[in-house]
Structure 1
């Protein structure tokens, strides 16, 4: 449900824009607002779960998410909807980290890899469901409600989950997470569980780091989203400059906090782990391409080509299905190939995006070939993402597992945010400079070219080291996946 809501709004975006009479920039903020709150709260949500119990925090985040979904469905203007989307993202930021925390503290070795594969498959299912369910609800126009059911559908599901969760998750907290200081029980690196009563201490909350990261994300997002529409005013450039300053202060503060023995929001020790910097770059790039592609594709299919929300949603199904299948099956390939899966996936994704852009640039619907390219794009992006995620988590120490998970999932969400902001601005700037379907078609071709270039950058990052690892270089094997 949390993943679904990051995508379902894309299908409803054209109807939402028409009903609320909102600009393209405010529409981007409606989509990105969820990722803003979600991304900056993920690590803090995980630590709160360790302090009060992962089950309790899951239910608390679910309650916030459910109430905010109701508010989104009843919103009367773009300002209200943006605010409620931020609240909805905050609920997801408290709810979803508990899943990864339980995976990290319950599984080791190949069991953890399988669990992470299942998690990645759920991401793909959630994304696919977002396109299908969103398209079906908007096309049905239940009682003349238009886009509102894409949010309201969360309410009955959330209520049912809350009722079931109180019974299913409450006992786990009482048995394994409650206690002095509110701590959580972990599984040792050897795979044997800790003895009863031997509990890992909960991590301190890094509130100054949370504030600095949130400020840096907002200082970047707002001018990038609004700059094109407002002809890049001076305050936008000032905001971007301040973003660089605040992010530098954030990095210095986190480093100093780590040296003092504190618990930084983003651990410098994890960032220095072998392969993690490259993993951060690749995950950020992949999610930016994916997030931007989904956003602009829905705008083009419905706004430029006049397709229904349901048909537009169905167009994305091959992408989501291929992403999920590849996420489950890549481990069956020979291990010596794994080093090339991520750069190869990026290259396949880049070729697919270039092909999709060429098909749409002429103003047509792409024909049957577009569905083939949608599938290869999903396959490529999955291969670019899943081996990197599994490899980075496997290489960090057990005591750093929560920090690594938080870092990588936060990176993924910031990537979605960057993709909607940057590639959305490229598409809207070009599409709104002209009129008619051809303007949208040309904008789609240009934006797909920009996303393909970003995917090529993801391919080149670490590709030389991956080739060395494939040849059996032990130094490369230690440094890269």
Structure 2
């Protein structure tokens, strides 16, 4: 007999204290995984100086975590169904905490890269369980609100990483320097390991779910073939093997589709279940999230390096420059539901257009090597406002109507899109910046301007994609008679 996940309990069937405790534990864990995707950005100059690393190694230190995180997320979501979300979350949290300690004790660039991959493995096991546990713990309007907070955590953590990273590196507690950005996870992780077994709900393992090993291997190989040449190719002069890898990666996408169809044809569980892919607007939303986070992640990486290496800012000052963006993003991401529901659909593409305009303005302001002045700070704030108006409602629209039984697969797909976008953004925009920056102040300023213009163009493309996602979602919802709370 197939054991299905029981429906999410009614909001009045568990105390408010219990549900809030669950949300605090899982979102703190989620915040740590997202934070680690960006907190290292501000520490990059210190790592480069201390460990004598090159551009490719720096990109692997930043992106290696996200690569492992991204390629293993779908498998982590499926593992949660097989072993229960509670056990998988706790196991992933333990691996992540140990790997964070190892990163803080790393002795050279190779060991740091390896331990960063270890962090990614732990995060991939932990993060997909968060969305599923939200689906199981909350219902109705409470679920939509929890998903909105979740979406704000996912992207807000990237911004918080810039600020917190600067504070930690500048404080240099106990002479820890850049190592503190990793060691900060250890006490938090230990506290969560104590609380999680007492707070997280006990769920039933789904013995009918299988882990698609062939699909996982194919997806992992495809992502590595596409990302590694982008990260290492520039510094090595894009040798022949890099182009062969990229070509093989494109073919790998086709191979993955064929593998998934074959798995489904045999009656087994593919990584991307057809029922999940058919959820209203899910695929279009995943595509938009990949584009948005690609721009966002790449821009954060380049901006942090430019401020410290080219403008000479301290880690703390560089981190604080992102504060206006963090404030506006948080304000928009947590309060967008107060805007009339009739405007929600239009708000997403319009928010991305605002972000693109802010990036274009920054290209003009910073293109001559100027400091981050009042006008640039306003542009940062507008960029955060635009992303806040788009990101949270976009993800919430896609998730609010996903059945609980499919929550794990949906969370894996959307979270993978977020992480793959971040990897691609760091690799592509980082490579462009390092290629153009050169050794002079003028060339660095030109590189920054080019990256901002490219980011603006990519954000406009994401705006068009989001408009398509909203249209398809609305059409499919109307055909199925599905209306999510507050997401008309």
TM-score (norm 1): 0.88
Deviations 1:307-361 (A, max 9, x none): 0000111111222222222122112222221221221111011001111121111
Structure 1: where are the runs of 5+ without partners? 184-200
Q: Give, in angstroms, the shift of residue 145 of structure 1.
A: 2.9
Given candidates 252, 255, 271, the residue that maps to 1:249 is 255
Q: Compare 328-337 and 122-131 and name the one that shifted more.
A: 122-131
Q: 1:309 to 1:477 in 2, by over 3 A?
A: farther
1:426-445 per-position Cα deviation (integer Å, ceiling 9, x unaligned): 111111xx223322211111
Are residues 1:392 and 2:398 paired?
A: yes
1:160 positional shift: 2.2
Q: Does 1:83 align with 2:120?
A: no
Q: 2:236 aligns with which of 230, 240, 262?
A: 230
Structure 1 residues 154 and 435 mapped into 2: Cα distance closer, same or farther (>3 Å)? Answer: same
Two-structure CA RMSD over aligned residues (Å): 2.5
Query: In 2, Cα distance between the equivalents of 1:250 and 1:467?
Result: 28
User: What's the counterpart of residue 379 of structure 2?
Assistant: 373
Q: What are the residue-to-residue correspondences of 1:22-41 with 2, within 5 Å? A: 22-41=53-72
Contact 1:47-1:204 at 8 Å conserved across structures: yes
Which of the numbers 81, 90, 93 marks the counterpart of 1:59? 90
Q: Is 1:265 matched with 2:265?
A: no
Give the corresponding residue for 2:439.
435
Provide the secondary structure at the position in 2 that maps to 1:204. coil
For residues 241-287 of structure 1, the C-alpha deviation after alignment (integer angstroms, 9 at most, x for no partner) is 11011121111111222233321112244334432222122111110
Once the two structures are TM-superposed, the CA of residue 100 in structure 1 deviates from its matched residue by 0.9
* Of 196, 206, 209, the match for 1:203: 209
Q: Where does residue 382 of structure 1 map in the other structure?
A: 388
CA distance 1:13–1:476, shift in 2 (3 Å) = farther
Deviations 1:374-400 (A, max 9, x none): 111111122222222112223444433
Matches within 5 A, 1:394-409: 394-409=400-415
CA distances 1:389-432 after superposition (whole Å, capped 9, x unpaired): 1122234444333222211111111111111011111111111x
Alignment size in residue pairs: 453
2:8 counterpart residue number: none
Which residue, 33, 42, 47 being the options, matches 1:2?
Answer: 33
Residue 218 (structure 1) aligned with residue 219 (structure 2)? no
Is contact 2:78–2:211 with CA below 8 Å preserved after alignment?
A: yes
> Post-superposition shift, 1:465?
8.2
1:148 partner SS: helix
Map 1:164-179; keep pairs closer than 5 Å.
164-169=195-200, 172-173=201-202, 176-177=203-204
Partner of 1:163: 194
Q: Which has the higher contact order (CA 8 A, sep 6+)?
A: 2
- 1:459-474 superposed matches below 5 A: 459-461=463-465, 463=467
Deviation of residue 124 (structure 1)? 4.6
- Match for residue 449 of structure 1 among 453, 471, 480: 453
Shift of the alpha carbon at 1:52? 2.3
Q: C-alpha separation between the residues in 2 aligned to 1:276 and 1:294?
A: 26
How do residues 318-337 of structure 1 correspond to structure 2 at under 5 angstroms? 318-337=324-343
**Retained in 1: the 8 A contact 2:77–2:412?**
yes
**C-alpha contact 1:220 1:240 (8 A) present in aligned 2:** yes
Match of 1:107 among 138, 144, 149: 138
Partner of 1:228, secondary structure, is coil
The Cα shift of 1:459 comes to 1.5
Structure 2 residue ranges without an equivalent (≥5): 1-31
